Amino acid sequence: MSPANPATPVSPETMAAWLVMYSLTNCGPARAKWLSTHHDGLPGALADLQKGKVSAIVGDRPRGLTTELLDVWSAQARMFDAEEMLAEHLSIGQILCPDNHNWCFHDDPEPPLFLHAIGNSALLGSRPSVGIVGTRRCTSVGRRFAAKLGAELAEAGVTVVSGLAKGVDGAAHRGTLASDGQAVAVVASGLDVIYPRSNEGLWNQIGRDGLLLSEAPLGIKPDRWRFPARNRIIAGLSDFVVVVESHVKGGALSTAEEAVLRGISVGAVPGSVVSPASVGTNALLADGAIPIRHTQDVLDSIGLFLSPNQPSQPQLPGMQPGALVGQKAHRAIGPEAQAIMDELQAGSAHIDALLAVTGLSVGKLMALLSRMATEGLVTIDASTVIATDQSLTPPAPQVRL
């Protein structure tokens, strides 16, 4: 899901109104979106609430939004200084919204209005990305698999997205960071309300070395409804979602459902039929989810590949943020790249043939092919490399590798 054209710039006044609205009791995405239909936008709705003019906010109300709740919002809204809230949030992070060039929710059926971010915001649009989710009450096997998957995907240059919860989520992110990978965590509380406390060290490390995201303003505790709302954001940031373990009900299944709604493929790790922690994942498999036995299955699903002799040790190079969203780097033209292009004059070639003509190691060849794919010279389908139209008549070399 690539970023689309930037939207109209968002004013600080609107950003500030978002923060206030999302701080109100039970004001979730659907209700905030309804408020934003006010004739003066969300700032106008906030102004009316603060003046007690509840009747001025008209339109088809979302389900459950009563006049009594609007009265509660009106009383709460008067307690906030929107400008001070915005300044406080910007003092510790960024407010990311649809006018950000990395915003990737333009085509989302239920996009966030904004995301408060701490860390490397370029990772918001980083591709490829894989969501790894699962139960908090995971088994030791599930925890180890999630950590291994996170680590190996990181080594393959894949950004790992998860929810920073106990169990599978935390394990996946620990594995990612252990391999110096790119970790994106979407949480259900304000970024100053660490939850769960047991993940405080991991939370701080991701904020320093990766990207922390939340739809909740500062000071907001993780109310129950905020978790499924958070799950749709995890799905929206992912090119593929893997459920490692899940009980018969749980947030991981919610994330899988949100992925399906967005046309994003879902994989599930098979588990014992007598393990409660695998009931949900086995059900996903029965419903047609892609079986995930090891990292190779994930990479195959997102169009990457490994050496046949290395089924569980990815050697793809780390990709720069945004490498697969149409950003153009220098042409990968050099002796080895030219040898590949010569071999591809027939249209395509197997990876083994390219190893032979270049004399490169598997790791170096894959690094070169990744750059060539990023630059639009080739596409990769499993173990076959296919020439693009432009690769058959490449421009003169500008940079030597």
What is the reported pLDDT for 59?
Answer: 65
Q: Which residue has the tokens 């249209």?
A: 347
- Dist. CA 186–CA 104, nearest whole Å: 14
The pLDDT, as a whole number, for residue 2 is 42
Output phi, psi for 65, to 5 deg: -90, 95
CA distance 247 to 138: 9
pLDDT number for residue 4: 45
Angle of CA points 225, 228, 231, to nearest 5°: 145
- Residue 226 sits at the vertex; the CA angle it makes with 119 and 84, to the nearest 5 degrees, is 55
The pLDDT, as a whole number, for residue 399 is: 32
pLDDT score at 39: 84
Task: Tally Cβ neighbours within 10 Å of residue 92.
Answer: 13
Per the omega criterion (within 30 degrees of 0), is the bond before 196 cis?
A: yes
What is the CB-side half-sphere exposure of residue 270 using CA atoms within 13 A? 8
Closest CA to 124 of 144, 147, 103: 103
Res 101: pLDDT: 87
From first to last of its 401 residues, the chain has per-residue pLDDT tens of 444 445 678 899 999 999 999 999 999 888 888 888 888 888 999 999 999 887 777 666 777 788 889 899 999 999 999 999 999 999 999 999 999 888 999 889 999 999 999 999 999 877 799 999 999 999 999 999 999 999 999 999 999 999 999 999 999 999 999 999 999 999 999 999 999 999 999 999 999 999 999 999 999 999 999 999 999 999 999 999 999 999 998 889 999 999 999 999 999 999 999 999 999 999 999 999 999 999 999 998 988 654 444 433 333 333 333 322 222 233 335 778 888 888 887 778 888 888 888 888 777 788 788 778 877 788 887 778 888 765 544 343 333 32
Go through 110-126 and write b for each residue having 16 or more CB atoms within 10 A of its CB, e for each that does not: ebbbbbbbbbbbebbbb
The separation between CA 322 and the C-alpha centre of its own chain, rounded to angstroms, equals 13
- Dihedral of CA atoms 66, 67, 73, 77 in degrees, nearest 10, equals 150
Residue 380, pLDDT score: 83
* Main-chain dihedrals φ then ψ at residue 197, nearest 5 degrees: -60, -30
Classify 148 in phi/psi space as left (phi over 0), alpha (psi -120 to 50) or beta. alpha
302, 352 contact by CB (below 8 A): no
Is residue 175 within 8 A of residue 147, CB to CB? The reply is yes
User: Global pTM?
Assistant: 0.74
Cα 350 to Cα 2: distance, rounded to the nearest angstrom? 28
Which tokens go with 277?
């922690």
Q: Which residues contact 237 (CB under 8 A, 6 or more apart)?
A: 104, 124, 129, 131, 161, 184, 186
Q: How many C-beta atoms lie closer than 10 Å to residue 324's C-beta?
A: 21
Q: What is the pLDDT of residue 188?
A: 96
HEC string of the chain equals CCCCCCCCCCCHHHHHHHHHHCCCCCCCHHHHHHHCCCCCHHHHHHHHHHCCCHHHCCCCCCCCCCHHHHHHHHHHHCCCCHHHHHHHHHHHCEEECCCCCCCCCCCCCCCCCCEEEEECHHHHHCCCEEEEECCCCCCHHHHHHHHHHHHHHHHCCCEEEECCCCCHHHHHHHHHHHCCCCEEEEECCCCCCCCCHHHHHHHHHHHHHCEEEECCCCCCCCCCCHHHHHHHHHHHCCCEEEECCCCCCCHHHHHHHHHHHCCCCEEECCCCCCCHHHHHHHHHHHCCCEECCCHHHHHHHCCCCCCCCCCCCCCCCCCCCCCCCCCCCCCCCCHHHHHHHHHHHHCEEEHHHHHHHHCCCHHHHHHHHHHHHHCCCEEEECCEEEECCHHHCCCCCCCCC
Model pLDDT, residue 6: 54
